[in-house]
Amino acid sequence: MLTKRIIPCLDIKDGRTVKGVNFEGLRDAGDPVELARRYSEEGADELVFLDITATLEKRKTLVSLVKRIAEEINIPFTVGGGIKTVGEIEELLKAGADKVSLNSSIVRDPELITRASEAFGAQAVVAAVDARKEGDHWKVFISGGTKATGLDALEWMKETEQKGAGEILLTSMDRDGTKSGFDLELLSQVNEIINIPVIASGGAGTVEHCIDAVKQANADAVLAASIFHFKEIEIAHLKNKMGEAGIPVRLT
């Protein structure tokens, strides 16, 4: 089994880190540069930065903030939000990002995945999928979770792999911010049909939730926000507990 990753997520709005529940009711969670530095020092395996209102506000990701964060950390860094072109991807990679997270733009233009993968390598392209359960199926939402697409989430994730994505960041909108645990059914079904790594997002509230995502649903990484931002769980403690559960993790 490959080493499993712990990934804090910085949701950015107006230059600040925020966190809500089910994509709503955002509250301030601190300065993103300070949080990034802290997570790098505490042993996070990677960091994700999502400019969550960039698409809605029809603007590009905050490149200057990406540069400031990149200067403070020494771990892989994924950036997303409002990215629509290969040129914008190149700008963010030059600013210090290691990967880009693409969501709304690839639903509107799926070939952007292929163009980005061919230009920068599949390892730099993360397909972000915001999924909500409707009946017996999960559907894809875009624009910060505000717009339904009608796309079947499982079929869409399979397509992103085929088009060249190197990784999937899968957020359960139903679980987001609830701390009720990851959607193990969704994660399990995705991992049965694709071969690229899947990052579990949405619902982390306890150490056990993270262990379950890996052991029961085969997640390659667990992403969380508020439990780390507000120091409800320390990264080192989480890694130690995952290690005790027989999960290979990188210990610092």
Active site residue ranges: 11, 130
Q: Is 53 helix (H, G, I), strand (E, B) or coil?
A: coil
- Separation of alpha carbons 69 and 63, rounded Å: 10
- Separation of alpha carbons 95 and 222, rounded Å: 25
- Separation of alpha carbons 129 and 87, rounded Å: 22
Strand partners, 147: 142
Q: Is 122 helix (H, G, I), strand (E, B) or coil?
A: helix
- Separation of alpha carbons 53 and 191, rounded Å: 29
Q: What are the φ/ψ torsions at residue 195 (nearest 5 degrees)?
A: -115, -5
As a whole number of Å, the end-to-end CA separation of the chain is 19
- Separation of alpha carbons 21 and 220, rounded Å: 24
